Amino acid sequence: MTHPQPVEPPVEPPVEPPVEPPVEPPVEPPVEPSVAQPVVIDCDPGIDDAVALLLAFASPELDVTGITTVAGNVGIGQVVDNALRLCDLIGVDAEVPVVRGHAGPIARAVRIPDEPVHGEGGLGGVHLPPSARTPHPSHAVAWLAAQLRDRGPAGTTVIATAPLTNIAALLHAHPEATSSIKEIVLMGGAAFAPGNVTPSAEFNFFADPEAARFVTEAGVPLRIVGLDVTRKALTTRADIDELLADGAPATAAAGRMLDHLATRYEQRHGVAACAVHDALAVAATVRPDLIEWTDAWVTVECGGEFSRGKLIADVHGRTGLPHNAKVATGVDTDAFRAFLVSRLLRHYGADAHEPLR
């Protein structure tokens, strides 16, 4: 007798797990104009000022509402002309004014000579086409006062990369402006490092020590980016070569200017790199985390035979006076280099991801 074979239940085909859609890498959201920080840049182009301007306009976190100028690296006429040509180079909106400021220090009759490191025309011999733009008809101090008044309380950050004559004149003539300034981020001074004009003084503070002293003691929130950090955050030959290799008008111009500066730096210091002082002040405004900040009471020496223009920073409370500034004492050099070069290439390069503003 045969027994029937048991019937195996049908085998269900394995159920494939649902296919998850691919996960897109996180994308940094664009900075909307409504949340960009309004800034005014007071400058004296100058190579490092020129690169600072390029960096500021390549940073969507900043809404640059105007460029005020003051004599410094070169005379005021050349400074204004350079600023206008740079605006053309990077396509700055015509609504952003370039405003002429003081031609020299107020407290002294004589301006110190042009800073030779910046070369012919102040831009390292880089010749930009003449601009059809014209400077704003107001004086920088009057324009700044009106701009700050219109923006309201704590509405504007001032990035100052030049002698502080315009800013001191503003705060002296319009003391009410202090309430409209969110903070001043300035490039100047050497708190704990040697100077670059005298053994103790940095160029911007030495050019107008009385103005620098007035600003440091004016009671405005203040961040000071001086030689203590700018000499550490060197732009290398490799960085410069990357800009030159890109070949777009703005990146190539920046590369040629920095090449001139690096050549001078190598001749003097034996290092194949250069300090782009003013660009670090702009970077510190956008990315304060790049900097190590130390609270201090600060002032500027105006009378010393060998210390005129010296930034004095009391970090240990020896004076008993309250802190009135944050002084840059450390910097993430690699992060700054990457920030500077990537921003310039991304915004102005041959494969630019963002339209020129």
Catalytic residue positions, numbered: 277
Q: Is 147 helix (H, G, I), strand (E, B) or coil?
A: helix
Return the closest-CA partner of residue 264 out of 41, 48, 31: 48
- Cis bond upstream, residue 219 (ω within 30): no
**Cα–Cα distance between 19 and 24 in angstroms, integer?**
15
Q: Is 26 helix (H, G, I), strand (E, B) or coil?
A: coil
Q: Is 283 helix (H, G, I), strand (E, B) or coil?
A: helix
Q: Which two tokens stand for residue 343?
A: 């921003």
CA distance to 14, 15, 349, per residue, from 11 (Å): 9, 12, 61
What DSSP assignment string belongs to 110-131? -PPPP-GGG-GGGTTT--PPPP
Beta bridge partners of 224: 186, 327
Using an 8 Å Cβ cutoff, are 71 and 44 in contact?
A: yes
